[in-house]
Copies of this chain bind each other. A is one copy, B any other.
């Protein structure tokens, strides 16, 4: 009994994993608005299965990105422990944040969509990442290395926007612009 339940639950978990992978892949190709049918098809399951695991698109999107969001947030604490200048810590964290953004093609666009179904994604990032970023900013500002008027949300949003790439504006361009933006945030002595 326990076994058979375990087996089924394991199967469900595998399905869930497959769905997350399929959704992530489809998001890369089509963006977070990818048709549910396509996601189901890529995972080789019926549409009903998608709805069973993720009743709303928001829950699916959120689930897809939650793991990486958490990892990114955790990095902030780690960096603060390291024997490096606070502004250097911020720079490195922003690098990781960018990595997260760009590996998720279309996430940038999704973040600025006003579609209510994606609000929770916004909330997820706000609740998790903003405090992480804020801690780094505070440290850098306290060290006199950053203009203390810079706020975490605004900076993250700006970085996120700058990393929305396209034809003739690739990741390298985005990173260059982010670098210049950060330079402009440094304390003007």
Contact = CB atoms under 8 A, between A and B. Distances in A.
Interface string A63-94: 00000000000000000000000000000000
B173 A157 contact: yes
A170 to B, nearest CB: 9
Interface in A159-185: 161-162, 164, 166-169, 173-174, 176-177, 179-185
A157 B173 CA distance: 10
Interface size grouping (class) on chain A: 20 to 34
Nearest to A179: B184
A126 B166 CA distance: 13
Nearest to A183: B184
Nearest to A150: B180
Contacts of A3: none
20 contacts: A108-B112, A109-B109, A109-B113, A122-B166, A122-B167, A126-B168, A154-B176, A157-B166, A157-B168, A158-B162, A158-B173, A158-B177, A161-B161, A161-B162, A161-B164, A162-B162, A164-B164, A179-B184, A180-B185, A183-B183
Interface of A: 108-109, 111-114, 122, 126, 153-155, 157-158, 161-162, 164, 166-169, 173-174, 176-177, 179-185
